[in-house]
Amino acid sequence: MKIVKVEHLSKEYGSRETIVKALDDVSFTIDKGEFVAIVGASGSGKSTLMHLLGGVDQPTSGKVWVEDTDMYTLDETQLAIFRRRQIGLIYQFYNLIPVLNVEENISLPLLLDGHQIDQEQFERIIKSLKLEQRRTHLPNQLSGGQQQRVSIGRALVSNPAIMLADEPTGNLDSKNSEEIMSLLKHFNKTFNQTLVMITHDEDIALMADRIIAIEDGRIIRDERIRS
């Protein structure tokens, strides 16, 4: 089952003389449960692509479907709701809310949506992230690896259609990096959670099912390395 469909997607920044084609006519699909690594040099357009997959930016042209929703036909309010329910975002620098504790940061997307928290599922997430002993800690009382685990929890709590991660291990030492990768793989394999991840690290890219390489805003390689 196709969970993402991207058609002729382009993004330009600036205008006239200063125009930058950050993404240039990109098309591809992603199956449910796939783990896709996006690789490419700095400035090649990886984050631009991720923002467009996640509905956090507007394309210059082209379309993005997530499940059966043509994302950029939604108005701003509909898009914000769609994003909260169907897109899980993970960044290099965690982006947690500093005044909210671990439990509150993780449950925030559900609370914003006016949803009750499924206690059982919530406990399962806290446990698999090994955060049971840190429930009431604030972000600045946590290590980098722990903060990233909280942000994974926040991304997972609404059962999103896709998880998008931009260099999730970019700020971590090798031990924490391995731990985060094994967690992401766990959610991908055990719960068939679709995962799209940008990385500069070749070893990490090789953990994916498929590697898409980007250069100057275009896909130059798209290889399945695992089925």
Ligand X SMILES: Nc1ncnc2c1ncn2[C@@H]1O[C@H](COP(=O)(O)OP(=O)(O)OP(=O)(O)O)[C@@H](O)[C@H]1O
User: Interface residues for Mg ion in 19-78 (CB under 5 A)?
Assistant: 47
The minimum distance between CB 214 and Mg ion, in angstroms, equals 10
Residue 64, H or E segment: strand 61-66
By CB under 6 A, is residue 40 in contact with ligand X? yes
Is residue 57 within 8 A of residue 44, CB to CB? The reply is no
By CB under 6 A, is residue 169 in contact with ligand X? no
**Cβ nearer to ligand X, comparing 2 with 43:** 43
By CB under 6 A, is residue 42 in contact with ligand X? yes
**Cβ nearer to Mg ion, comparing 47 with 199:** 47
DSSP letter at 59?
-
**Cβ nearer to Mg ion, comparing 137 with 218:** 218
Q: How far apart are CA 148 and CA 21, in angstroms?
A: 31
Q: Tokens 């692509």 label which residue?
A: 49
Cα dist from 158 to 54, 85, 112, 162, whole Å = 15, 6, 11, 11
- The listed partner (ligand X, Mg ion, none) that binds 20, CB under 5 to 8 Å by sort, is ligand X
User: Interface residues for ligand X in 46-85 (CB under 6 A)?
Assistant: 46-48
Residue 162, H or E segment: strand 162-166
**Cβ nearer to ligand X, comparing 156 with 211:** 211
**Cβ nearer to ligand X, comparing 46 with 154:** 46
Residue 171 sits at φ, ψ, to 5 deg, of -110, 10
The minimum distance between CB 4 and ligand X, in angstroms, equals 18
The minimum distance between CB 164 and ligand X, in angstroms, equals 12
Q: How far apart are CA 8 and CA 20, in angstroms?
A: 17
By CB under 6 A, is residue 13 in contact with ligand X? yes
What is the 3-state composition of the chain as percent helix, strand, coil, each rounded to the nearest 5?
Answer: 40, 30, 35
In the complex, which residues of this chain contact Mg ion (CB under 5 A)? 47
In the complex, which residues of this chain contact ligand X (CB under 6 A)? 13-14, 20, 22, 40, 42-48
